[in-house]
Chains A and B, each alone.
Chain A
């Protein structure tokens, strides 16, 4: 079964600094998707970034980038120039492409941004 592990329950970063959130996953599949979602206090789930497993190039979206290490089954999120609005819960997610489209999430990491 596919599982997602986020080992950092909570992280802090100074405004304008860079922070990296960790995520590892377990799967026997070769083709899948990985996502990072953000959940602010409003509890709305917002997609931050997406990575397709067959693409070697790491995805980037403005200040957000990932370090995708397929062999190590690692998918970390780097937030550059952190802003107060980045404070939220961040979830790493895995979506199967080979077995019915199942979408599972890690436990989440609370990110606090200090001014």
Chain B
């Protein structure tokens, strides 16, 4: 398996633009997490899905952020409109709800909003 795949690896956009981050979890995994990493706030859990259903989105900072998981092999995190303070590394991770399994992380997307 190729692991968790995130795209793009790097994204530079102008303030006010829409940004879409993509994630393909490991095949067979049924739980998916989105995290944001910054120096100031560390690794924050934004939202997670079990069996494609959002379970907890309390970490989503504002209404500008939204996430979807239309099927078991794809998820998106969208920011509209983007702001400079959204600049961070965004990670996607997947795991098996069966228990005991660690979460496997993608390489992350470094987002810079100018």
A residues apposed to B, CB below 8 Å: 33, 35, 43-45, 47, 50, 52, 91, 93, 95, 97, 100-108
B residues apposed to A, CB below 8 Å: 31, 33, 35, 42-43, 45, 48, 50, 55-56, 89, 91, 93, 95, 97, 99-100, 102-103, 105, 107-108
A108 to B35 CA separation, bound complex (whole angstroms): 14
A103 to B35 CA separation, bound complex (whole angstroms): 10
Q: Are B56 and A102 in contact (CB under 8 A)?
A: yes
CB-CB under 8 A from B105, the residues of chain A are: 44-45
Are A102 and B43 CB-contacts (below 8 A) given A43-B107, A45-B93?
A: no
Q: Are A103 and B95 in contact (CB under 8 A)?
A: yes
Q: Secondary structure of the B side of the interface? A: strand
Set B42, B50, B89, B91: member contacting A101, Cβ < 8 A:
B50
Q: Are A105 and B48 in contact (CB under 8 A)?
A: no
Q: Are A97 and B99 in contact (CB under 8 A)?
A: yes
Closest 6 pairs between A and B when the two form their complex, measured CB to CB: A45-B105, A107-B42, A105-B43, A47-B102, A100-B55, A101-B31
B69 CB, min distance to chain A CBs, angstroms:
14
Q: Are A106 and B42 in contact (CB under 8 A)?
A: yes
CB-CB under 8 A from A103, the residues of chain B are: 33, 45, 48, 93, 95, 103
18 contacts between A and B (CB under 8 A): A33-B100, A43-B89, A43-B107, A44-B107, A45-B91, A50-B102, A52-B100, A91-B43, A97-B99, A100-B55, A100-B56, A101-B31, A101-B50, A101-B97, A102-B56, A103-B93, A103-B95, A105-B43
Q: Are A35 and B102 in contact (CB under 8 A)?
A: yes
Q: Are B108 and A43 in contact (CB under 8 A)?
A: yes
CB-CB under 8 A from A50, the residues of chain B are: 100, 102
CB-CB under 8 A from A102, the residues of chain B are: 45, 48, 55-56
B26 CB, min distance to chain A CBs, angstroms:
14
A97 to B100 CA separation, bound complex (whole angstroms): 9
Set A47, A101, A108: member contacting B43, Cβ < 8 A:
A108
